[in-house]
Structure 1
Amino acid sequence: MPTGPTYRVQVRPGFDLDATAQIVDYLADLGIGWLYSAPLLAAVPGSAHGYDVVDHRSVNPELGGEKARLRLVAALREAGLGLLLDIVPNHMGVARPETNPAWWDVLRRGPASPYAGWFDIDFTRGPVLVPVLAEESAARADLVVDGDELRYHEHRYPIADGTGDGTPRQVHERQHYRLVCWRRGDRELTYRRFFAVSDLAAVRVEDPAVFAATHAEVLRWAAAGELDGIRVDHPDGLRDPAGYLARLRAAAPGCWLLVEKILEVGEELPPWPVEGTTGYDALAEVCGLFVDQSAEAAFTALDTALTGRATSWPELTHECKLAAATGLLAAELARLVRLTPPLPAAEAAAGLAELAANHSVYRSYPPAGDRHLAQARAEAGRRRPDLVATLDRLTARLRDPADELAVRFGQYTGAVQAKGVEDTAYYRWSRFVALNEVGGAPQRFGSSPERFHRAAARRAERRPAGMTTLATHDTKRGEDVRARLAVLSEIPERWAAAARRWTARAGLPDPAFAHLLWQTAVGAWPIARPRLHAYAVKAAREAATTTTWTDPDPAYEAALHDLVDAMYDDAALHAELSALAARITPGGWSNSLGQKLIQLTMPGVPDVYQGTELWDHSLVDPDNRRLVDFGLRRDLLARLDAGWLPPVDHEGAAKLLVVSRAARLRRDRPQLFTGYRPVPAQGPAAGHAVAFDRGGAITVATRLPLRLAACGGWDGTAITVDGEVTDVLTGRCHSGGPLPLADLLDPYPVALLVTSAPGRQR
């Protein structure tokens, strides 16, 4: 387990392994303990993320290949850094079959292929359906036979031995696959996939032979001492996550193991042999601290006024999940139904979809997770009393972990939750979008310090080696966007007046989405126009209220672009938006520094997402995968190390100061971070402070800064410490006893205290 933080780098074409090696010295200077890398195995050519692996036997040549990997490992070892690698056991990329040897062979030989058992294909339903064609009947006229390949425009497919004679259509009909209209993928697919992505085919990693083949290279690196930790992508998609993780732990006993498991509020990680999750639960705990809970009623009233309907998170999520369960994931639902005779198919489909739509977590693991299934059954019965008998029969089977229906239902509910909530409801629920984050609970308006302390103490006790984070490649908004938006909760009346005025001046047919877009723009302002246009289209298609990915609405999207353009071209609107953004920016900076210091010093191993050591106002991917200016960060860090104490301003060097000093302290003096104790404040402004002692390192942060200023500042509020302490951010010493926060939190709204001077950290 690393002592210092990890640092996530999106290694990809355009920023390859050699480019990553060139920043290792900077990461070491920053205080980072381990590099946390995106997937490195060979992926679909041009992949910007690496999650579409096509060959587990080699490093992606577009990243520099094996020699570049070894150069990176050498650089890390020379600098004393470890390596945490993201791996993808659940699926493989099949968008370009010719680049995936295993998939190519399955398409060529069908069930007779030695790789047929690699993929979760239902061969009983005939040829493998490949949803790639335009309108089907006309598109097949574009098929071409080229040697031993069948081609459709740029797409290439193998021809089975002895089937190459005749017209392209005749050849096509003899294959072990059928090229069909792309629209049939959601309804009729014959292989399990990743969520609703037909270009990602699920892998049967529960088979020991498949596990061995797909993990051999990564495990070779671990055995050679070239890999220190493994982050497992989407374990809920696996047939048997517990069994898989036990096998992985046995194969890499010395590795730090993490899972990308999204836990809902109150949900505990199953008793898997891993150190913890990748930290979305910590993200929600930290960010909620900076939201003013007293503003909930005002934001609810505003949303109701703008949309003309009362907000209801449970009803919205049910609607979105049921749509995903029966639409995007219709093929997966049909496969479940085929396991339910003698139940009538229509009743079984309705019952399973309703259970999934009412399932409150990504996946329950019977018998330990039976309470989640019981809750889903109760709510489904309330909504569909006509299905009570069917629900009871289904639930009896779903409680049995050995039942094939229960296994596949677990894989199905995770996809329903992800597509229905993360990728749809989060874009429709516009009450307060700072809370619309992966692993979050938008219906819970912020969090109190007391709740945070309870969660942190529980983390210290149960999963001290789990990861904490504020941003990932999957978060919907950058951490500093959320921090700035949190300030709006302190001025709800001003925000309501602005949102009403702007909506009346430049609205959309969908006022809820307009409200989401106004908030996002203010949180990221100033933002380059093309970035906001791209975000608006993606977000609107994800919301799927008027326009969708499969059926874009040109008129609605034109109106959407007009709204974005108005933010720049309407002088009065532009001035108002800029003025409000400027008004909340200083409070946003205070929140950013507070949440970052807390995340870096709370129980767990902190991760720093690439570039977020300065202000980061990125939006959802691919916006958050943009190249990072490491040269700028090197220069600023050098100035800090020369003694510069930067102002809290647009440059963001104050955040770099917080990150570097906290990271170095965790790396160099881990003994200061072995416990957890809340440090209460005393005085009239005590509710604006959050502080805790990790066993020698004391974190102090400001919350709700606008309200604090409005009530006259700290006004004698203090915390009490034993003995002399030094603030590692400023180098200032403070005597023991009551420490007035007005003195301690000046010039920065945060402090990191140690009970003895740490000396120079380099």
Structure 2
Amino acid sequence: MTPRATYRLQFTPDFGFDAAAGLAPYLAKLGVSHLYASPYLKARPGSTHGYDITDHNVFNPELGGPTGFARMSAALKAADLKQILDFVPNHMGVGGADNPFWLDVLEWGQDSAYAGWFDIDWDSDQLYLHDKLLVPILGGQYGVEIVEGKLALKFDAATGSFAVWAYDTHTLPICPLHYGQILGDDDETLDHIGDGFSGLPAWRPQVLRRAESLKADLVNAVRERPAIGDAIAAAVARFNGTPGDAKSWSRLDALIAKQSWRAAQFRTAADDINYRRFFNINDLAGLRMELPAVFDHAHRLVATMLRDGTIDGLRIDHIDGLLDPKGYLERLRARAPNREGRSPYLVVEKILGPHEPLRADWPVDGTTGYEVTNQLLAVMVDPSAEASFSRIYGDFAGDLEIFSKILRASKKRIMDNEMSSELNSLAREITRIARRNPRTSDFTRNLLRRALREVVANFPIYRTYIDFDGVPTEEDRRSLETAIAAARRTETAIDGSVFTFLYDLLSGDLVAGPKSGLSRNAVLHAAMRFQQYTGPVTAKGLEDTAFYRFNRFIALNEVGGHPTAFGRPLQAFHDANVERARHWPHSMLTTSTHDTKRGEDTRARLAALSEFPDAWAEAVNRWGHILSPAPAEADPDRQPDRNDEYALLQLVVGTCPVELLSEPRDPEALATYAERLKGAMTKAMREAKVHSTWADPNTTYEGATLAFVDRMLTGEKADAFWAAALPFIGRMARLGAQNSIVQTVLKLTIPGVPDIYQGCELWDFSMVDPDNRRPVDFEARAAALDTVLADLEGDRAGTLATYAASWQDGRVKLATTAVLLDLRRDHAALFADGDYEPLPGSGPEADSLCAFRRRVDGDDIVVAVARFPGRREEAGFAADTALMLPEGRWREALTGARFDGGVVAARSLFAVLPAAVLVREG
């Protein structure tokens, strides 16, 4: 069934299936229809997120395994709740000792049955990687680490296998072809078994099966004769040397050189990695999901759960990472109908660029809603303040660089460092194609690499979607034309014919005719690989670099958003909702996720800041003056740069916990907040890659910035800072709470399926992950919900007025959420399929009104919200600001107030809350 509303839970080893089962009654009482679960299939041990999956067909034992899952499913069913699973098709967790498929590839190389499952380039142009898989797991140089004893040969008596272990964590299997070299000939039994391993090539094509038989012989021999185990231990010891004695490790080094893997320092991945990763994460290896065997294996369990009704649908993680997203989705739709023959609910994690629509030919219900996150934010941000905020930022932080230049530079930074090897490989593949035609045979790999780098740096969206049909859409052509044209302008030293060739190749035009003389498959494969590259470069360059360099107004630096979109015309919001109602009525709506840079109420509070540019300028300069060291102590190493400081001050305004907004401040709560803030700032500094990076942390600069946080919140400047800042932050918090109610009401009433991220039914002033994955106090929420529902049974208007006045405890948000989820249950057809009609306001503050009507089959509601609370802080709405309510009798769902159709004054409509949801009664 299509969800009415979902509730996202993040599973961890500390929050497993039984914990979720215990929440079933609460979630049902709150009013959602579906539990929306983070990945819960088997992942790396200790995984806090589940995206490093190691087996798609096993329930994660750390969450409770199959029996725990059965208990959770039974509890959800008893509460009349369904499930949606966040599914990970693009990659698997590798490294460690947990992925049997990856370990098999390491053991057997290209002879492994799973070698083709992963996107591995066995034909690397790096000679030292010929027929080898780079394994960049070492903290130091290989030669240093092996001599220091960080790599050691070990025997597993339970499986009869040998492996090199790095740091006692990472398993690097030895190929059985080389076991004889290890076992030696000192013991007759071992000599015999070793000879069997050496003779494995004669058993082709049954080499792997024969090797398993010989391993079993080793297991039995050790079990039956303890002396055999001692002999193996002695054989292993001959390979493991003495730490610090380089010569003593030569035998192990020689053995390692024969393997199908090459252990290396993690930094080598940037230049030499020869397998596709998830972004630039070495221990997440890309899967070739376009291969039927890989698809069938990875989807066996979820397909069964979809067919038998255990789960209702899937959220497909990182759809842009797949070679052929459309083909994948079509195959998924075809293979996984439920027992009633209906297709599953299916949404994709897809970040849409500015003005980019979701592909109309994708067989999905929509996206996971990042675009809606930013559309809702735009409703709350005052666009008239853009110039002022640009000036304030420039005055405080220095020269204001154009964001487009920052983004290009950030993407090039990623291509030149973390993802250089992928660009090299892509350029090599395209160079091979170019050399097959005399007109392009002189295009060198270096020339094509430079041109590709410029095209990717200027790419306007995450990726295009040309497939093996070779027919680009008009959207694909526009994106390619935009990127190629920009690349021509910014890289004039490259002959234009190179860019012409790249356009023809990337669009498929190069093989559009029957006599191109080129391999159609080779050209289209190169174009599709290019598409797999632009997505992660854009994600890393935009979200994980540029967003931390351009700090004009950090509320806008959100996944799926754009820092230059400082609010939007209200009509743009209405147009987006009309479009969604028409084409994607069941798309997911979200305001917080595990990936958002800031919590939904943090953004709402910062949106309130946009109404007060003059007051903000005065505040930020005053705080900066208070926190600056004395001139005699003005060592730049003791102070963050002004850009980071400006981001920090905004972050404090947006995230300061409610309990710290009044005196006295609890020292423990203050210390906890300071640590959270320092964690977020550490990540920001490393992601920005200006003063520090993840690979090379600048502890001096980071220490100075973290000391600045302490100085501000708990140290020698704290009293002066709090005295100056609290009145302003408190004001933004109060107004931000009103924005949060507006945001909540809109999310729960516009076209689509609203999702509530765990805990966000109360205030969510979180920062970037892992802060937004902190444990949630569900007991407190369950108790609060019981109180709220009991209070609403009495004087509803009085209850909401009381909650609004005491907004600090968050009950006003919880009550709003519960009432509207109940309304969605009572008017399921209207919210699932109702149309959307904007309703204009009238009067001098009409632009502060956002209103619309939704109707289906005689069911009718009108939703109105009040924007820009700062404008009405003292006097409220002008008397003649109003909304024309359609004919009939209307009941306001939140407060129970009743209105007649006609002109309704905004003052009356928003007497209790900055939002009204009116249901036609007659």
Deviation of 1:442 after TM superposition, in Å, equals: 1.2
Tell which deviates more after alignment, 697-706 or 372-381.
697-706
Provide the secondary structure at the position in 1 that maps to 2:748. helix
Q: Does 1:520 align with 2:668?
A: no
CA deviation vs aligned residue, 1:398-447 (integer Å, no higher than 9, x gap) = 11195222111000000111000000111111111111100112111112
Tell which deviates more after alignment, 664-673 or 699-708.
664-673
Q: Given the alignment, which residue of 881, 897, 911 partners 1:746?
A: 911
Matches within 5 A, 1:294-305: 294-305=384-395
Provide the residue aligned with 2:221 in structure 1: none
Q: Given the alignment, which residue of 643, 650, 658 partners 2:791?
A: 643
Matches within 5 A, 1:48-87: 48-87=48-87
Tell which deviates more after alignment, 688-697 or 294-303.
688-697
Provide the secondary structure at the position in 1 that maps to 2:847. helix
Q: Does 1:667 align with 2:681?
A: no
Deviation of 1:216 after TM superposition, in Å, equals: 0.4
Q: Does 1:374 align with 2:481?
A: yes
CA deviation vs aligned residue, 1:624-645 (integer Å, no higher than 9, x gap) = 1111111111111111211242
Deviation of 1:308 after TM superposition, in Å, equals: 2.0
* 1-structure distance, mates of 2:300, 2:100: 16
Tell which deviates more after alignment, 100-109 or 573-582.
573-582
Provide the residue aligned with 1:228 in structure 2: 312
Tell which deviates more after alignment, 307-316 or 180-189.
307-316
Deviation of 1:112 after TM superposition, in Å, equals: 0.3
Give TM-score, length-normalised by structure 2. Answer: 0.80
Provide the residue aligned with 1:392 in structure 2: 500
Contact 1:43/1:93 (8 A) holds in 2: yes
Aligned letter for 2:700? Answer: A
CA deviation vs aligned residue, 1:484-504 (integer Å, no higher than 9, x gap) = 001111110111122223334
Provide the residue aligned with 2:848 in structure 1: 688
Provide the residue aligned with 1:760 in structure 2: none
Equivalent residue pairs, number: 756
Gaps in structure 1 of 5+ consecutive residues: 758-762
Deviation of 1:579 after TM superposition, in Å, equals: 2.4
Q: Does 1:412 align with 2:577?
A: no
* 2-structure distance, mates of 1:753, 1:384: 57
Gaps in structure 2 of 5+ consecutive residues: 125-129, 156-161, 183-238, 240-250, 338-342, 436-442, 467-471, 510-520, 629-638, 658-669, 793-798
* 1-structure distance, mates of 2:644, 2:409: 17
Provide the residue aligned with 2:356 in structure 1: 267
CA deviation vs aligned residue, 1:360-380 (integer Å, no higher than 9, x gap) = 101012311111011000001
Deviation of 1:681 after TM superposition, in Å, equals: 1.7
Contact 1:52/1:92 (8 A) holds in 2: yes
Deviation of 1:389 after TM superposition, in Å, equals: 2.6
Q: Given the alignment, which residue of 389, 396, 401 partners 1:311?
A: 401
Provide the secondary structure at the position in 2 that maps to 1:441. coil
Contact 1:5/1:667 (8 A) holds in 2: no
Contact 1:688/1:708 (8 A) holds in 2: no
Q: Given the alignment, which residue of 690, 708, 716 partners 1:545?
A: 690
* 2-structure distance, mates of 1:3, 1:194: 29
Contact 1:280/1:438 (8 A) holds in 2: yes
Provide the residue aligned with 2:171 in structure 1: 156
* 2-structure distance, mates of 1:95, 1:487: 46
Q: Does 1:132 align with 2:137?
A: yes
Contact 2:640/2:705 (8 A) holds in 1: no
Provide the residue aligned with 1:345 in structure 2: 445
Aligned letter for 1:542? Answer: E
* 2-structure distance, mates of 1:548, 1:658: 42
CA deviation vs aligned residue, 1:497-535 (integer Å, no higher than 9, x gap) = 222233344354521121111101110013711101111
Deviation of 1:738 after TM superposition, in Å, equals: 2.0
Provide the residue aligned with 1:484 in structure 2: 605
Q: Given the alignment, which residue of 685, 699, 709 partners 2:863?
A: 699
CA deviation vs aligned residue, 1:98-144 (integer Å, no higher than 9, x gap) = 21110010000000000111101011132101111112221122221
Structure ID, larger Rg: 2
Matches within 5 A, 1:585-600: 585-600=733-748
Q: Does 1:206 align with 2:371?
A: no
Contact 1:313/1:443 (8 A) holds in 2: yes
Deviation of 1:711 after TM superposition, in Å, equals: 6.3
* 2-structure distance, mates of 1:365, 1:422: 21
* 2-structure distance, mates of 1:373, 1:325: 19
Tell which deviates more after alignment, 748-757 or 64-73.
748-757
Provide the residue aligned with 1:729 in structure 2: 894
Residues 734 and 442 (structure 1), Cα distance of their counterparts in 2 relative to 1, 3 Å cut: same
Deviation of 1:93 after TM superposition, in Å, equals: 0.1
* 1-structure distance, mates of 2:3, 2:329: 23
Matches within 5 A, 1:521-670: 521-526=652-657, 528-568=673-713, 569=715, 570=717, 571-644=719-792, 645=799, 646-648=802-804, 649-670=807-828
Identity over aligned residues, as a percent?
A: 41
Contact 2:95/2:171 (8 A) holds in 1: no
Root-mean-square deviation (CA), in Å? 1.5
Provide the secondary structure at the position in 2 that maps to 1:23. helix
Aligned letter for 1:529? Answer: A
* 2-structure distance, mates of 1:158, 1:135: 20
* 2-structure distance, mates of 1:62, 1:104: 21
* 2-structure distance, mates of 1:725, 1:411: 52
Contact 2:876/2:907 (8 A) holds in 1: no
Provide the residue aligned with 2:423 in structure 1: 333
Aligned letter for 1:131? Answer: P
Contact 1:2/1:33 (8 A) holds in 2: no
Structure with bigger RCO (C-alpha 8 Å, 6+ apart): 1
Q: Does 1:677 align with 2:785?
A: no
Aligned letter for 2:709? Answer: V
Contact 2:626/2:720 (8 A) holds in 1: no
Deviation of 1:686 after TM superposition, in Å, equals: 1.5
Provide the residue aligned with 1:117 in structure 2: 116
Provide the secondary structure at the position in 2 that maps to 1:92. strand
Aligned letter for 2:393? Answer: D
Provide the secondary structure at the position in 1 that maps to 2:165. strand
Provide the residue aligned with 1:104 in structure 2: 103
Contact 1:566/1:574 (8 A) holds in 2: no
* 2-structure distance, mates of 1:517, 1:710: 30
* 2-structure distance, mates of 1:664, 1:557: 48
Give TM-score, length-normalised by structure 1. Answer: 0.97
Contact 1:2/1:34 (8 A) holds in 2: no
Aligned letter for 2:861? Answer: A
CA deviation vs aligned residue, 1:608-656 (integer Å, no higher than 9, x gap) = 1111111100111110111111111111111121124242211000000
Aligned letter for 1:523? Answer: G
* 1-structure distance, mates of 2:318, 2:682: 26
* 2-structure distance, mates of 1:226, 1:241: 25
CA deviation vs aligned residue, 1:272-309 (integer Å, no higher than 9, x gap) = 11111000111111111100111000011111112321
Deviation of 1:708 after TM superposition, in Å, equals: 2.6
Aligned letter for 1:475? Answer: T
CA deviation vs aligned residue, 1:241-294 (integer Å, no higher than 9, x gap) = 111110001012320011000001210112211111000111111111100111
Matches within 5 A, 1:254-293: 254-270=343-359, 271-293=361-383
Tell which deviates more after alignment, 252-261 or 335-344.
335-344
Deviation of 1:470 after TM superposition, in Å, equals: 0.6
Matches within 5 A, 1:710-725: 712-721=876-885, 722-725=887-890
Q: Does 1:363 align with 2:494?
A: no
Tell which deviates more after alignment, 562-571 or 276-285.
562-571
Deviation of 1:680 after TM superposition, in Å, equals: 1.8
